[in-house]
Structure 1
Amino acid sequence: MFKKSLLLLIVLTLISCHATKSPIVTTKKSAGKNSTYSSGNKKNTKDRNEVITSTSKTIVTSEVVSNYVAQFKDIAMSNMKNYGIPASIILAQGILESGAGRGDLAVSANNHFGIKCHSDWTGDSVKHDDDSSQECFRKYNKVAESYRDHALFLKGKVRYASLFELDKDDYEAWARGLRKAGYATDPKYPDKLISYIERYNLAQYDAQVLGNKYVSRESRNNTVTDRRLKNEEYYEVQKGDTLYSISKKYNVLIDDLKERNKLSDNTLFVGQKLKVN
């Protein structure tokens, strides 16, 4: 009986030892600051999935990104007023660096800009795999603190000083300036920021802060197209028209008509619009 009791005690002790919790280790799924994204057809904005890779790999929809913008645009505009960083740049970096708020660091540490501890950081931190194993990243109590720290980080570093000499509504210059100053190693980093700004019309928040009228890139392109079309004369083909009759009407050579309209033969159809000048 004594031997059985002793054996039972040993077994229970071993089970207890194996039940001790291991320390939590956060590992990234892909490369760090060399952030990448991929997307489908840009016309299907509402249904497209995107893969955002910064300190972790995150798959989001355009709706998730739009909701992220709606949630943090006011903070971004406030930071623009207080620190002089374009709201469009702040939001684009937040989307890219945090996976639109779905990335590991954003979830576990409210860190939306992938800012590491550095020697001057005295706040809370978390360990996460990035360029090296289990690096130190800043941890915040609230997302707003991460946004504020991002602004202070840029304002407080000498290498970013040249950014604040740029126009506040020139998001392209800011995007390229961040890359040049060393914020990210990915050569496509500026293009990614600009892509988010233009696809989600983030420059409208810069315009609100500056008191400017905002015109989306799409509207600007449409205006240019409309202006170009007004300066060009088109003829709508009617029943009985031929290239010969149209060429006589507008005093233009048949070959010129075919070249301007990329026609491979003389075939026309009713309702077809031909560029005639």
Structure 2
Amino acid sequence: MIKTKLALFLLALLVVSCTSSRPVVRTTSKPKVTVKKKPVVQAKPTVKPITKAVVTTSTTTTKPSNSDTPVELVATSNIKTYAEEIQSYVDSYKDVAMNNMKTHGIPASIILAQGILESGAGKGKLALSANNHFGIKCHKEWTGESVKHDDDAAQECFRKYQLPSESYRDHSLFLTSRPRYSSLFKLDKGDYESWAKGLKAAGYATDVKYPDKLIGLIERFELYKYDNEVLNRDFKPEKKEVILAQGGDYYTIQQGDTLYSLSKKFNLSVDDLKKLNNMSDNAISIGQQIKIK
């Protein structure tokens, strides 16, 4: 029994000895490292900022190149306007004026000149707010709409119309229906000078220069052409000779003259010319004599 146990002990000892002599191989597995790829960032194309053009609008009236100085229209409208604007006004209302001339016998040139002067070529307050192009006041017989406007007195009553053409028609009816203007209709329909002076004499306007202003507009913008068309004639005003009287102290206004052009011609300022002639505005008319010294 003892022998058997001894044999088993020796056998076990032998097995252990053999096992311990084998090299121990350790395998160390490194942990797998996951490398995150950096995302590929695509370069954005360079975009230039879009600059929007800023358009600035202005209400300032641009002076036309064909006009030296503004034409001052002083009547019920205290307005400065330019030749280009006046011509545009004439183009708009010449047919209305000629039709009224045919119907009522008032020269188209006079109608247009009064419309230009009284309405500031359509830019005056009465023209814009009431379509009143002739400064006609309400008077006791008027039953239509009206507006208030400062004129000879504060806040006077003026007629209001739906359309400018109604104002033109009422202007003709106003002249034909009042006895104080009856003498005008005895004049030649083409004699705009006599009509201009007759309107002032009959009391249409208080401005002493009213006839000269009308005549100046008629001749400067050739409004007599519309009288010619109605009367079937070919009238042209005679070109007045330049007159320098009293040792060259005075000059006679010619077609195309303005105070600005005369100031350059005689080496004076516009203000100097106005002071020499006691002028309150720049209005001049063909044939008018002005002092230059």
Shorter-chain TM band: 0.5 to 0.7
Kept in 2: contact 1:176–1:190 (CA 8 A): yes
CA distance in 2 between partners of 1:184 and 1:49 (Å): 23
Q: Which one of the candidate residues 174, 186, 198 is aligned to 2:219?
A: 198
Match of 1:59 among 53, 71, 80: 80
CA distance in 1 between partners of 2:188 and 2:135 (Å): 25
- How many residues align? The count is 178
Give structure 1 regions of 4+ aligned residues with deviation exceeding 2 angstroms. Answer: 44-48
Q: How many angstroms apart in 2 are the aligned matches of 1:78 and 1:130?
A: 30
- 2:130 partner letter: A
Structure 2: gaps spanning 5 or more residues? 1-64, 243-293
Q: How do 1:148-187 and structure 2 match up within 5 A?
A: 148-187=169-208
Structure richer in helix, relative to its length: 1
Letter in 1 for 2:123: R
**Structure 1 residues 54-74: Cα deviation after superposition (integer angstroms, max 9, x where no partner):** 223211110000000010000
Match of 2:156 in 1: 135
The alignment's TM-score, normalised by the length of structure 1, stands at: 0.62
Percent identity for Structure 1 against Structure 2: 60
Paired with 1:163 and 1:54, the residues of 2 have a C-alpha distance of: 21
Q: Distance in 2 between matches of 1:196 and 1:208?
A: 18
Q: 2: CA distance between counterparts of 1:132 and 1:46?
A: 34
What's 1:255 paired with?
A: none
* Per-residue deviation, residues 48-95 of structure 1 (Å, max 9, x unmatched): 312212223211110000000010000000000000000000000000
- Computed over aligned residues only, the root mean square deviation of the Cα atoms, in angstroms, reads 1.7
Q: Give the match for residue 100 of structure 1.
A: 121
Give the Cα–Cα distance (whole angstroms) in 1 for the partners of residues 68 and 83 of structure 2: 7
1:80 to 85, 101, 114: 101
Q: Which residue among 123, 136, 141 is the counterpart of 1:120? A: 141
- Which position in structure 1 is the counterpart of 2:255? none
Cα distance in 2 between the residues matched to 1:47 and 1:142:
33
What corresponds to 1:17 in structure 2? Answer: none
Q: Is the 8 A contact 1:47 1:62 kept in 2?
A: no
Larger Rg: 2
Residues in 2 aligned to 1:70 and 1:137: alpha-carbon distance in whole angstroms: 26
In the other structure, the counterpart of 1:221 is: 239
2:196 & 2:128 partners in 1: Cα distance?
A: 25
**Structure 2 length-normalised TM:** 0.59
What CA deviation, in whole Å up to 9, does each residue of 1:190-249 have, x standing for no partner? 00000000000000000100011243x3xx439x99xxxxxxxxxxxxxxxxxxxxxxxx
Find the counterpart in structure 2 of residue 147 from structure 1: 168
CA distance in 2, matches of 1:45, 1:207: 26
